[in-house]
Amino acid sequence: MQLLVSNYDKYTEKERVMKNYIFMCDWVGVPFFAFMYVTLFGALSGGNDRISLDVEGGPWEYVCTFLAILALYQHLRVSPCPLEENVEMFAVMSKIGRWVFLTRQVLCLQAVHFVLSFLSTRVENLHWLIGVTHTAAVFIAGLGIFVTVQYFTLVSPDKDFAVDCTAWLKRGVNFRLIQDFVHIPAGFIAIMDIMLVKNKVLLQETSVPMQDMLLYFFLFTLYYLSLVHVNYHMTKQWPYGMLKKLGLSPVKWAKFTVIQFMILSVFLSIAVAIVRYRVNGSLY
């Protein structure tokens, strides 16, 4: 039940105020990211609204949509809100809530992507979204794979994260279990989307040139790390423990930016390779 309902209710008055503020940020953030998804990928699709093809997601589309919505819901409402005693996390979320975390942004984009994909083939007035969601598929897949892999390689083993998990377990909340279930589906449904759900002909027709996709991923990297820095200057805290060692050194952050972009590029390349193999039967 801890994966469906938050079972912690011993918040202090100040913590309840913070909890309500975080929820308010969620009511603003989800519609905002939905708007940005449609706006940006709509522009990239170039108005491609082909509906002559028999575009059907099949049973896997139900699975992916359900898991995407569930993961976002768990991050929105099941993950416990920060406590006063955890000074760092309490401060980190004090300005823009959980939107400072990359996981939240990607989970939201994935949920929007799958919901709109689901609706686009079933609601006549939304058929124009078929081209948009097919254009977005590779981008969303790359980000989804990134979230799952990065969580288990960088966040889950982090000592600060382990301390948080231990503290919450003493309060009766299996925080690690919740976070595992939040992060696991992203990579798998991302691969399922481009392998089993999306129409392979439309995937090819709406594909964005690789050099352009790399540029957009680099801009996304700059955007997110800029957001992290803005949040730091407002709260004096970093959202991830691994960022502490970087401090405010321009050189260290430049290297970190390049490394993160390269990692994102690898996952993007994996998504592109999967699509090419599905379309052409080879990676070329």
189 in a structural domain: yes
The pLDDT of residue 134: 93
Question: Quick check: 59 and 137 in contact, CB under 8 A?
Answer: no
- What is the residue range of 192's domain? 13-280
The DSSP H or E segment spanning 146 is helix 129-150
Burial (CB < 10 A; 0-12, 13-18, 19+), residue 135, is: buried
pLDDT in tens, 160-194: 788 889 989 999 999 999 999 999 999 999 999 99
pLDDT in tens, 113-136: 999 999 998 888 888 899 999 999
| pLDDT band at residue 269 under the 50/70/90 scheme | very high
70 in a structural domain: yes
pLDDT in tens, 28-37: 999 999 999 9
82 in a structural domain: yes
5 in a structural domain: no
Burial (CB < 10 A; 0-12, 13-18, 19+), residue 105, is: buried
The pLDDT of residue 126: 87
225 in a structural domain: yes
29 in a structural domain: yes
pTM of the model: 0.92
The structural domain count of the chain equals: 1
Q: Which residue has the tokens 């590779």?
A: 138
4 in a structural domain: no
1 in a structural domain: no
